[in-house]
Amino acid sequence: MFRLFKRDETGKIAAYHEVWVEFYPRRIVEHWGMIGTRGDTDTHRIKLLRSLEKQVDDILDPARELGFAEIDPSDYQTLIIEYLLSDAWRRDDELKIREAEDALTEVLGWTGLGLCEGETITDTAVEFTCRVLDPDLAKTRIAEQMADTEFADYSRIYSE
């Protein structure tokens, strides 16, 4: 995955532009938008007789010309989504924990906000660690996207 971001006049990260390679069905996926929105997507067929690196650069170069660039890992902040252990959240329910991690990655990734890095299981909770660019906006998007799902029952979302 190759991610570029653009800052607004105040220096805040405002937009994203990313690409990733899917070897089957042999395509490069391009995804861009304003931070916090699902944005737009386009696909490009991989050309076998051309360097994959060059093909990715050709897709990202117009964004770079508009001021998009890589960011420092320190631009991300840590956000924890906590689910208290109960009948619904058991420490040994690996499938549900993986599905929750995937759901969080889906919400954060498709809105350019970040990603879920995994979980920690304590004596009382399952805590998912996410790296996000805008914690307040990420909290809002998570609440919206998790509503009416089996993952809506988190006990809290907090910045670390």
Report yes or no on 127 lying in a domain: yes
Amino acid residing at 139: K
Pair 80, 149 in one domain: yes
Looking at the fold, whether 53 and 89 belong to one and the same domain comes out as: no
Tell me, yes or no, whether 87 and 114 share the same domain.
yes
Q: Which of 65, 93, 114 is the C-terminal boundary of a domain?
A: 65
**Predicted local distance difference test score (pLDDT) of residue 114:** 97
Q: Give percent of the chain with pLDDT exceeding 70.
A: 100
| Number of structural domains the chain divides into | 2
User: What's the pLDDT tens digit per position in 17-43?
Assistant: 999 999 989 999 999 999 999 999 999
Residue 52 has pLDDT above 90, yes or no: yes
Residue 89 lies in a domain: yes
Q: What is the pLDDT of residue 45?
A: 96
Domain boundary among the residues 40, 65, 90 is at: 65
d(CA 108, CA 140): 11
Same domain flag for 82 and 120: yes
**DSSP for 94-159?**
HHHHHHHHHHHHHHHHHTTSEEEEEEEE-SSEEEEEEEES-HHHHHHHHHHHHTTSTTTT-SEEEE
Q: What is the mean pLDDT of residues 60-68?
A: 98
| pLDDT beyond 90 at 160 | no
Among 12, 32, 65, the domain-final residue is 65
94 and 143 within one domain: yes
Q: Is the pLDDT of residue 101 over 90?
A: yes
Biggest CA pair distance of the chain: 55
Domain membership flag for residue 71: no
Q: Residue 70: inside a domain, yes or no?
A: no
| 1-8 average pLDDT score | 96
pLDDT level of residue 113 (50, 70, 90 thresholds): very high
Average pLDDT, the chain: 96
Residue 67 reports pLDDT greater than 90: yes
Same domain for 47 and 85? no
Same structural domain for residues 29 and 97?
Answer: no
Query: Do residues 18 and 40 both lie within one domain?
Result: yes
User: Does any domain span residue 51?
Assistant: yes
Confidence category of residue 74, pLDDT binned at 50, 70, 90: very high
List, for residues 122-158, the tens digit of each pLDDT value: 999 999 999 999 999 999 999 999 999 999 999 999 9
Domain of residue 18: give its range: 2-65
The CATH number of the domain holding residue 143 is 3.30.70
Residue 68 pLDDT class (50, 70, 90 cuts): very high
Task: Clarify whether residues 98 and 124 are in a common domain.
Answer: yes
CA–CA dist 142, 138 (Å, integer): 6
